[in-house]
Structure 1
Amino acid sequence: MSVRRIGVLVMSYGTPESMDQIEAYYTHIRHGRAPSPEQLAELTARYEAVVGGVFPLRENTNRQVEQLERMLNETGGEDVEFICRQGLKHAYPFVPDGVEALFREGVSEAVGIVLAPHYSRMSVGGYILEARTKAEELGLPIRFVESYYDHPSLILALTERVQAKLDEFVQAGYAREDVKVLFSAHSLPASIVEAGDPYPQQLLETAKLVADAADVKDWSFAWQSAGRTPVPWLGPDILEVLPKLAEAGVRAVLDCPAGFVSDHLEVLYDLDIECVRAAEQLGIRFARTESLNTDPLYLGTLRDKIEEAVAAKADAGSGR
């Protein structure tokens, strides 16, 4: 029996593996321009505040990839073998490295998927372009999952997290209906809206599906972690939203960072430190939902979308 060996390129933004890699990481993000001493000191301080000099952040991505591979092979059947490899945007192994690793494994075809549920030409589209370019260079057939923002398992995983945190607010003495629920995601340059990018709309659809499933009536969307560039970014920023909520008399805020799937700097610092600090100063109790990380519902979402892509290839090959 011949075994169909399928490569899976799991792509994500990447993060340093140690404190001494921060400068190289930041330089890569800045397209080869080294950060100033002040910029490097600020970023290093953020990582120190989050990880205390120990770097568990990359380990989470490693676990996601390992468990996804195991899950795919448990349900894929005896005639299929899945091989998962990472491809990172700003750290090693880079996206082309991941494609080459699959090629060296001798896979006959590949599927690419990004650890980000919502498609933007600037984010997911960039990963896909890099991967496709390298795959074409090597002659490796590859297809891509562009988004999975409305997959039922993803929505269920986020809904469970919203409900669990709302229960904690109730246990702390807040009425459920008095908790303002925010959904947040990484901001991007506002120019994507004029270009017709689906990113903002997909995020709003995810938020609405989760809010409806969790029976949340009072919710809104906020952006976070915008880059420090001269061009305008999507807003309002969550740090601008909190003071307005305080002025309106809101005393309890739950944020669901629906655009993120893992614990990393934008969650562990921007939300857990910056937002918590700002909320405390405003007299607001602030909490966020737990990250998806290796939740089986999330990994099951990835598995389903990969299997759909594989099935589509099989159907195309059979002429159906």
Structure 2
Amino acid sequence: MSSDPESALPTVSVPTPVLLASPAAATGPAHVEEPVAYDGILLAGFGGPEGQDDVIPFLRNVTRGRGIPDERLEEVAHHYRHFGGVSPINAQNRALKAALEDELARRGIDLPVYWGNRNWEPYLEQAVTDAVDAGHTRLIALATSAYSSFSSCRQYREDFARVADAAGVSDRVTIDKVRQFFDHPGFVAPVSAGVRDAVAGMLDDGVDADTIRVLFSTHSIPLADAERSGPRDVDWGEGGAYAAQHRAVAEVIMDELAEARSDAAGIAWDLVYQSRSGPPSQPWLEPDICDVIETLPDAGFAAVVIVPLGFVSDHMEVLWDLDTEAIEAAAGAGLRAVRTPTPGIDPAYVAGLVDLVMERVQGTPASDRPARTALGPWFDVCRPGCCENVRAGFKPAAAGLAP
């Protein structure tokens, strides 16, 4: 796998217009190094139900176009119903919006934040309409997902194109998007700190380092989608750019752990997956976290540190699949278990998101942008063929070159 994804890509010799792009991004440079005078930030989230009556309508939105009957949706709905039908994600995004506004104000940056979701109120359509009605038509988007895949990057870019068209403002609004931030210091720092604290607690309590396993967990996706994540002209290895990005960040975190505590050097770790859905006949990224936990006692492990590496905050998948199912699996295996925090509204994470916006406002050269892995800094304008949806192919999408 190339450590320099940009150098491994073919040069785009003919300028290709990028949908909804600012003039600086319109021809599709990998990194936009010209300043752009944005006048608003579009915070894009997944969305979640906020009551029992919302659960099935929300899941219909999530699975729209797949023809899944309500009876099957109820199999997933019980996760939400267990928590009163309320996903934590909207409250988390409200808190993130407020934290971003505070950080912007602290720095004296006059950029209003408009928040909208893909699958539940407040919807992206309303956020874009509100921005345009307020006279803010040069938007820089922050999606609440750090990694490259269809659902975590391209689908948001398709959302931007869809809602701008539906609102009838495609001729009046530009929507650029910050780079995927999986290896930005602001994202990595709070995750790394959580791992250090969890491992230190175990070591200080007398747990032998050789019996501790760190499991970095992220959302499983169909293998075919994973293989199409990131630019297609780079050999990312098994799991595409999606898995490569997670592995690279996990390696950085484990190296930091070893530097912080010499007695933690050599602690074993794995990248594992969770929250699989879909038919058993469809291959998804593996191994499943609970399956791995069940094998640990026989391999000589006594403790497990569960790291929600793929999540920016405590989504339902964290509360149910990790805090409930994975912790129960660890208890059943007789393992000591700790789940580390997600970035949430950690000050380093919030400041890092504002830094990402300011990269584009200031046109920061790629060589001056921070990245904790050799894969970054990631692209400002997604490359041709990036993160195809296997089921539906390519739809119009902002902030990327057409396939």
**TM-score for both structures, normalised by structure 1:** 0.88
Residue number in structure 1 paired with 2:106: 74
Given that 1:103 and 1:138 are in contact with CA atoms closer than 8 Å, whether structure 2 keeps it comes out as no
Residue number in structure 2 paired with 1:162: 195
Residue number in structure 1 paired with 2:306: 255
Residue number in structure 2 paired with 1:149: 182
Q: Tell me how far apart the structure 1 counterparts of residues 348 and 98 of structure 2 sit (CA, whole Å).
A: 15
Given that 1:261 and 1:292 are in contact with CA atoms closer than 8 Å, whether structure 2 keeps it comes out as yes
Alignment of 1:92 with 2:92, yes or no, is no
Q: Tell me how far apart the structure 2 counterparts of residues 177 and 153 of structure 1 sit (CA, whole Å).
A: 30
Structure 1 residues 153 and 38: alpha-carbon distance in aligned structure 2, compared to 1, 3 A threshold = closer
Given that 1:17 and 1:57 are in contact with CA atoms closer than 8 Å, whether structure 2 keeps it comes out as no
Task: Name the amino acid aligned to 2:354.
Answer: R
Listed one character per residue, the Cα deviations across residues 4-45 of structure 1 (whole Å, up to 9, x for unaligned) are 6621111121111112100100111121646434642x4343
Aligned with residue 206 of structure 1, among 226, 243, 249 = 249
Residue number in structure 2 paired with 1:61: 93
Q: What's the CA shift for 1:300?
A: 1.2
Listed one character per residue, the Cα deviations across residues 126-167 of structure 1 (whole Å, up to 9, x for unaligned) are 101211343462521221113011112222211111111112
Aligned with residue 17 of structure 1, among 50, 64, 84 = 50
Q: Tell me how far apart the structure 1 counterparts of residues 101 and 309 of structure 2 sit (CA, whole Å).
A: 24
Q: Tell me how far apart the structure 1 counterparts of residues 244 and 339 of structure 2 sit (CA, whole Å).
A: 22
Q: What's the CA shift for 1:296?
A: 0.6
Structure 1 residues 83 and 138: alpha-carbon distance in aligned structure 2, compared to 1, 3 A threshold = farther
Listed one character per residue, the Cα deviations across residues 97-133 of structure 1 (whole Å, up to 9, x for unaligned) are 3222221221141101111111213321110121134
Q: What's the CA shift for 1:53?
A: 5.5
Task: Name the amino acid aligned to 1:236.
Answer: P
Alignment of 1:241 with 2:284, yes or no, is no
Gaps of 5+ in 1: 314-320
Residue number in structure 1 paired with 2:70: 36
Q: CA RMSD in A?
A: 2.3
Gaps of 5+ in 2: 1-36, 233-239, 259-264, 365-403
Given that 1:9 and 1:87 are in contact with CA atoms closer than 8 Å, whether structure 2 keeps it comes out as yes
Given that 1:253 and 1:286 are in contact with CA atoms closer than 8 Å, whether structure 2 keeps it comes out as yes
Stretch moving more, 188-197 or 262-271: 188-197
Listed one character per residue, the Cα deviations across residues 260-301 of structure 1 (whole Å, up to 9, x for unaligned) are 011121000100110111111111122210121111111111
1:1-320 → structure 2 map (5 Å cutoff): 6-31=39-64, 33=67, 35-37=69-71, 39-40=73-74, 42-49=75-82, 51-52=83-84, 56-75=88-107, 77=108, 80-135=109-164, 137-195=170-228, 196=232, 197-215=240-258, 217=266, 218-229=268-279, 230-312=281-363
Q: What's the CA shift for 1:307?
A: 0.9
**TM-score for both structures, normalised by structure 2:** 0.71
Structure 1 residues 24 and 256: alpha-carbon distance in aligned structure 2, compared to 1, 3 A threshold = same
Structure 1 residues 286 and 64: alpha-carbon distance in aligned structure 2, compared to 1, 3 A threshold = same
Number of aligned residue pairs: 306
When you count strand as a share of all residues, which structure comes out higher? 1
Q: Tell me how far apart the structure 1 counterparts of residues 105 and 271 of structure 2 sit (CA, whole Å).
A: 37
Q: Tell me how far apart the structure 2 counterparts of residues 44 and 194 of structure 1 sit (CA, whole Å).
A: 29
Given that 2:55 and 2:85 are in contact with CA atoms closer than 8 Å, whether structure 1 keeps it comes out as no
Given that 1:95 and 1:127 are in contact with CA atoms closer than 8 Å, whether structure 2 keeps it comes out as no
Identical amino acids, percent of aligned pairs: 29
Stretch moving more, 266-275 or 124-133: 124-133
Residue number in structure 2 paired with 1:316: none
Runs of 4+ in 1 over 6 A off after TM superposition: none
Q: Tell me how far apart the structure 2 counterparts of residues 55 and 267 of structure 1 sit (CA, whole Å).
A: 11
Three-state SS of the structure 1 residue aligned to 2:112 is strand
Given that 2:215 and 2:306 are in contact with CA atoms closer than 8 Å, whether structure 1 keeps it comes out as yes
Q: Tell me how far apart the structure 1 counterparts of residues 305 and 180 of structure 2 sit (CA, whole Å).
A: 25
Task: Name the amino acid aligned to 1:311.
Answer: Q
Three-state SS of the structure 1 residue aligned to 2:338 is strand
Q: Which has the higher contact order (CA 8 A, sep 6+)?
A: 2
Given that 2:149 and 2:226 are in contact with CA atoms closer than 8 Å, whether structure 1 keeps it comes out as no
Q: What's the CA shift for 1:192?
A: 2.6
Task: Name the amino acid aligned to 2:277.
Answer: G
